[in-house]
Structure 1
Amino acid sequence: MNQLNQLKKFTIVVADTSDIESIYKYQPEDATTNPSLILQAVKLPSNQHFIDKAVEYAKKKGGSYKQKIINASDKILVDLGIKILEHIPGYISSEVDARLSFNQEKCILKAQKLINMYENEGISRDRVLIKLASTWECIKAAEELRKDNILCNLTLLFSFAQARACAESNAFLISPFVGRIYDWYKSYNLIKSSSFAEDPGVLSVRKIYYFYKEHSYKTIIMGASFRHIDQILQLSGCDRLTISIDLLKQLQLNTNKIERKLTPPNIFKTPPSRLSEAEFRWEHNQDIMAVQKLSDGINAFGKDQLSLENILSKKI
């Protein structure tokens, strides 16, 4: 049995891609997208019809030139999500514009709009996760959205403070970024061991996993942003793992036996008191890596969103 099939015994495998053919090939439970992946997808000649359909939709909706571009961008996001849902049994994660990451109210409105667009196409909100960056504002937006049965995937998560605030706010799912944490430590020559068991990104997810399980938090942990299959294998047993196509391929080609690394504890503890906004901001601020990587991630996704809008602007 290959490692991908072995991993599926311990963990729900999610495809981190917008490529329909790859999703069909590797048969993940769920799929995640982000502005970078959406931008890659629409640049493919085979996907030009998504742009044409989005432009037509935006023109029919009307409004200002700026609003037409926004509506076309949202339409592409939803249409790609619908297409992916045809090939998976579980959730599609669709991301809110990263430029809204510090505006709770606008994140709520955008999430509601995207869910309405999905539902207008016959897709239940039960199959859609709205991706939000793990800022204080987005975490609070996710808390409010859940009251309306809109489930969120809190992404760009790098600090323990972010993970704790998400759990305390009853977020549905978090995506701690293993590979980007590893990248930061490597860039500063701070990797102390060649063992992936001691990888700083792996250690971060492991800490979150046991904290959540020991305190009976229901928030799902989905490790993300991997650089090497050994990072993935060190987290076998995590609730979910979202994996790029290249690494899914490596796992499928490898038949070495793997073992479960993460198992829920038998001892449970009373959860600590909830973090206040000030406590969250201070604790997150103490982790320089997390501060830098959260900023970098929001900026990068914002630039890719702008690139998508520039493509659409030439057709509107």
Structure 2
Amino acid sequence: MAAISWLDVLEQELNIDIDWMDPDFLVEMKDTIKFHDLTSNQNFVDVQMGHPSNVDLLRETAREVQAEYAAATSTPEHPLWLAIYTRMAVRMCKKVVDLVSGRVLLQTSPSEAYSTAATLAHAHLYDAEFARHGIPRDRFCIKIPCTGPALNAAKILQEEGIQTLGTALFGVPQAMACSQARTLSISPYFNDVRAHDDRSIWPAVADPAVEHPNAARLVQILDLYRRLYAATGERQPLVKNASFVSQEEALAAGEMGCQSATLFHTLIRDLKAHPYTAAERPGGAVAANACVPKPAADTPFYKDRAPPSARLAPLLSVDPLNAADPSKVAAGNDYDTVTKVDYLADNGKLLDAAIDADPVAKDRLAAALTLFIACEKRSQDKVDKALASL
């Protein structure tokens, strides 16, 4: 009998999603696991757009959209390159949607993260392209950066029946704003995006569930949603944890009680190859015994959820990322404070103010948007070259 792997155990505790768009990898893994959702961002879209298998598809898409723009009787709403990019991204999703059981996710333009109108317009363009390519709304989700203006767009999209995920999330106020926008999910980044290339800023701890400096904020977000559901009975966003560097961090997401974790393909291979024993798990048998199986798919996720385990409970009252006083939770992270603030009012000004008041959230959000804007620009260059080749 094959040994049980860390990947097998993690799938018992949460839904494993794939943070990678390569159809060859999904086919490679089909006898091991069928991933739930497939997530992406401007980086992964750009990587896949440049894959040799997509060269002809990009030229075909550029030719097709260019002809549509030339035949238009009025000025198109979107720049030509963005319309080509969006259709191309959806076509790449079309290649993989049947290889996952849930949704494919694409992210709105990061360069418009502080514009409600532009974020809404790009999401509507995605929606139209998914419909054009036969992918219904229950099979896709639009990722929205967690700024005040963009989450106001998310609220409108949710009211229209277009599911959204709040991404680039680094603090409790952003999580509360996503609850107010009624997003389907959120993706708190466990690590600063820069840690993937610069390991000198990565906290390489042995037991991430209790030792990683971001663990406390994640536990506080999960407890915020648990308490909000208990108090109101209203659906709360599902936590799709993201931006892992190590296998141990992925297992921490299972112990904390995230609904899902979206994992890079190299990390999935590592988890698959790692035989599991409870004693070897970070935190040992105590951590293993605290983990619970994920609820049935038809059960409201936060229904009957227990408070954090004795091992994790101390994280509710600390914030290691708070340089001023790590032993305390900042006022903006406190449940009784955060639930009284309307973060979406006045186009999200109070959310943006809360982010500005949190040096870590402000810095990491800016870094994530900077990264994705650079990737978006590389994709625009690829589109321009495709147009020039016609």
Mapped to 2, the partners of 1:261 and 1:61 lie a distance apart of 57
Q: Specify which of 265, 272, 284 is matched with residue 339 of structure 2.
A: 272
Q: What's the CA shift for 1:6?
A: 1.5
Q: What's the CA shift for 1:266?
A: 6.1
Mapped to 1, the partners of 2:217 and 2:352 lie a distance apart of 18
Give the conservation status (yes or no) of the 8 Å contact 1:223–1:240.
Answer: yes
Residues 286 and 193 (structure 1), Cα distance of their counterparts in 2 relative to 1, 3 Å cut: farther
Equivalent runs, 1:231-250 vs 2, <5 Å: 231-236=249-254, 237-250=257-270
Unaligned runs of 5+ in 1: none
Give the conservation status (yes or no) of the 8 Å contact 1:125–1:150.
Answer: yes
Mapped to 1, the partners of 2:99 and 2:306 lie a distance apart of 35
Using the TM superposition, name which of 224-233 and 1-10 deviates more.
Answer: 1-10
Residues 256 and 134 (structure 1), Cα distance of their counterparts in 2 relative to 1, 3 Å cut: same
Equivalent runs, 1:290-301 vs 2, <5 Å: 290-301=361-372
Q: Specify which of 209, 212, 229 is matched with residue 225 of structure 2.
A: 212
Q: What's the CA shift for 1:81?
A: 1.1
Provide the residue aligned with 1:287 in structure 2. Answer: 358
Q: What's the CA shift for 1:234?
A: 1.0
The answer as to 2:166 corresponding to 1:125 is no
Residues 142 and 11 (structure 1), Cα distance of their counterparts in 2 relative to 1, 3 Å cut: same
Give the conservation status (yes or no) of the 8 Å contact 1:181–1:200.
Answer: no
Unaligned runs of 5+ in 2: 230-234, 279-287, 293-304, 309-334
Residues 226 and 188 (structure 1), Cα distance of their counterparts in 2 relative to 1, 3 Å cut: closer
Q: Specify which of 214, 228, 241 is matched with residue 223 of structure 1.
A: 241
1:62 aligned partner, one-letter code: Y
Mapped to 2, the partners of 1:170 and 1:105 lie a distance apart of 18
Mapped to 2, the partners of 1:272 and 1:287 lie a distance apart of 17
Equivalent runs, 1:143-182 vs 2, <5 Å: 143-180=155-192
Residues 224 and 126 (structure 1), Cα distance of their counterparts in 2 relative to 1, 3 Å cut: same
Provide the residue aligned with 1:112 in structure 2. Answer: 124
Q: Secondary structure at the match of 1:178?
A: coil
Mapped to 2, the partners of 1:47 and 1:301 lie a distance apart of 21
Residues 260 and 28 (structure 1), Cα distance of their counterparts in 2 relative to 1, 3 Å cut: farther
Q: What's the CA shift for 1:194?
A: 4.7
Using the TM superposition, name which of 156-165 and 40-49 deviates more.
Answer: 40-49
The aligned length equals 314
Give the conservation status (yes or no) of the 8 Å contact 2:34–2:101.
Answer: no
Give the conservation status (yes or no) of the 8 Å contact 2:176–2:339.
Answer: no
Q: What's the CA shift for 1:59?
A: 1.9
Equivalent runs, 1:5-84 vs 2, <5 Å: 5-24=8-27, 25=29, 26-63=33-70, 67-84=79-96
Q: What's the CA shift for 1:74?
A: 0.9
The TM-score normalised by the length of structure 2 is 0.74
Q: Secondary structure at the match of 2:161?
A: coil
1:35 aligned partner, one-letter code: Q
Q: What's the CA shift for 1:92?
A: 0.5
Give the conservation status (yes or no) of the 8 Å contact 2:148–2:349.
Answer: no
1:57 aligned partner, one-letter code: E
Residues 234 and 121 (structure 1), Cα distance of their counterparts in 2 relative to 1, 3 Å cut: same
Q: Secondary structure at the match of 2:243?
A: coil
Mapped to 1, the partners of 2:52 and 2:204 lie a distance apart of 44
Q: Secondary structure at the match of 1:235?
A: helix
Q: What's the CA shift for 1:168?
A: 2.1
Identity level (%): 18
Give the conservation status (yes or no) of the 8 Å contact 2:242–2:263.
Answer: yes
The TM-score normalised by the length of structure 1 is 0.91
Residues 58 and 219 (structure 1), Cα distance of their counterparts in 2 relative to 1, 3 Å cut: same
Mapped to 1, the partners of 2:386 and 2:204 lie a distance apart of 51
Provide the residue aligned with 1:140 in structure 2. Answer: 152
Mapped to 2, the partners of 1:203 and 1:231 lie a distance apart of 13
Cα deviation per residue 1:260-309 (whole Å; 9 max; x = unaligned)?
75662269x99932334443233222221111111111111111111111
Q: What's the CA shift for 1:203?
A: 2.6
Cα deviation per residue 1:141-185 (whole Å; 9 max; x = unaligned)?
111100110011111111221111111221111000012279499
Mapped to 2, the partners of 1:47 and 1:137 lie a distance apart of 34
Q: Secondary structure at the match of 2:45?
A: helix
Residues 186 and 249 (structure 1), Cα distance of their counterparts in 2 relative to 1, 3 Å cut: closer
Mapped to 2, the partners of 1:252 and 1:188 lie a distance apart of 27
Residues 118 and 261 (structure 1), Cα distance of their counterparts in 2 relative to 1, 3 Å cut: farther
Give the conservation status (yes or no) of the 8 Å contact 2:194–2:367.
Answer: no
Residues 278 and 110 (structure 1), Cα distance of their counterparts in 2 relative to 1, 3 Å cut: closer
Provide the residue aligned with 2:5 in structure 1. Answer: 2
